[in-house]
Chain A
Amino acid sequence: MSRSGERVIFWTLPAVAVIWIAAFLLFPGFVPPMSPKASAAEVAAFYRDHLSRVRYSMILFNWFCVALIPILMLLVERMRGMAHRTPVLRYCVIGAAGAAPIAFLTSTVFWLIAAFRPDRSPALTQMCNDLAWITFTCGVPFLIGLCVFVAVAIAYDDQEQPVFPRWVGRFNLVIALALVPACFAGLTLDGPFAWNGFVSFWVKNLAIALWIVVMAVVLRQAMDRDRVVAGAAA
């Protein structure tokens, strides 16, 4: 089984991370997050006043939100070494890893439509903005699934030298739980659970960022070990 080229994919991650952070800071609606209580007129004014930054940041996200997929496939490849008798959990991770970034991509489409004609009726702009924020905030079922599938896969990897340490499984469950409250963001327009609230915005997005960093570190360790084993076998 060839491992050739895996390091190239892995080292795209820092570049992707820089682009994501830049796009996050460039979008004027993230720091601080836009309020769902803003009136249609205020939302329309937001797009008129920050048109270029909305467009450029969302074009960046539209390009690169899917750039995480190749890195997730490195995770899938590590799963081959797990003490499983079937590939079924690997298929679960592949399915979730494909859908999760596409949900994010869909929200960028709604943001870009809202910004496309800033002279549109404010009520229409507000609806596009709502569609973007609800897709972005609540559209995490595939990320939750991904974390749970990884956690189960690690729990079932009962060999002396498991591919990932046990704690990584528990860590994935914690991240899955941290994403759950954001799913309820539609129920309220203010407080910690609203789409701009502490739980639905900051906890959710920081949990995703932390997941990427921690999984990158353990992925790197597993890739190094894989290479040593492959070298010894050769």
Chain B
Amino acid sequence: MSLGASLRTDPKRELWFAWYSTVAFYSLYSVVFFVLTRTQPPGRPWLTPEQTVAWFADRHWGLLVGFALIFVLGGFSATSISLITYSIRRMSVSRAYAYSYLILYAIAAIPGFLFICVAMTVGAMRPERDPALLHWLYDFGFLSFSGTMGVFLVGSLIWMAAILLDKNGVFPRWFGYLNLCNALTEVVIAPSWIFQRGVLAWNGVIAWWIDVAVFGMYTVVFIYLLRSLIQRDDLGTGPVPAPVITG
């Protein structure tokens, strides 16, 4: 079925809307962070205030335009969260799991990505600002982005527990354990609040390279698994409203 038909006439069109939006959101996110703003891989935590002035100058328009795009489209992060919440509703576990995941990840958006967008925009908009303050904005941006941990930690564990307890076979068990790997990335990032150099610093081998590899793999896998969930779902073609799932 074509994309247009999936979104217009398919009985599962709202699921497809959420799924295509999820793919578009993560693609935009990658382009903004890796290409436009060049904030991934992250800047070095040991830069001096004067060096952060040069860091901001080097990517002035990239930061301003890239994060403006996140200000426009960041709300679409809600689509993957909603689809995952829906996946938990298909499981044989209490709605409490689904609602916990929804609220945890919805809250996570503010410290998880809005703060870095604001900090870097404020940094880039006045290159003449006192270097010590630019340094502070640089730290605020990277630490809030990497160091927002608990919501993702507990959120991943909730999804994991739901998958492992589920008797409907919504996701394979191995994916439950992959959630544990994602949760552990939020544990090993904690020392980045303390160390300015080395493997545990926010740009280190453990805190960045391994974490990003795990998170990237996890994201690709769950987007693929959500797609097969939608394909398998049989919502029928009968008249609505007769909600298949309420609540």
Contact = CB atoms under 8 A, between A and B. Distances in A.
Contact of A86 (B14, B117, B121): B14
Contacts of A89: 14, 17-18, 82
Interface in B114-140: 114, 117-119, 121-122, 124-126, 129-130, 133, 136-137
Contacts of A205: none
- SS class, residues of chain A in contact with chain B: helix
Given A85-B11, A98-B103, 5 more contacts: A87-B89, A87-B247, A95-B82, A127-B136, A138-B121
A95 B78 contact: yes
A123 B133 contact: yes
B158 interface: no
A152 B78 CA distance: 14
Contacts of B81: 91, 95
A186 B125 contact: yes
Contacts of A156: 13-14
A72 interface: no
Contacts of B15: 86, 88
B79 interface: yes
Contacts of A184: 64-65, 68, 71
A47 interface: no
Contacts of B110: 99, 102-103, 106
A183 B72 CA distance: 6
Interface in B56-82: 61, 64-65, 67-79, 81-82
A143 B72 CA distance: 9
A152 B17 contact: yes
Interface in A87-107: 87-89, 91-92, 94-96, 98-100, 102-103, 106
Interface stretch (B194-202, B211-219, B237-245): B237-245
A42 to B, nearest CB: 14
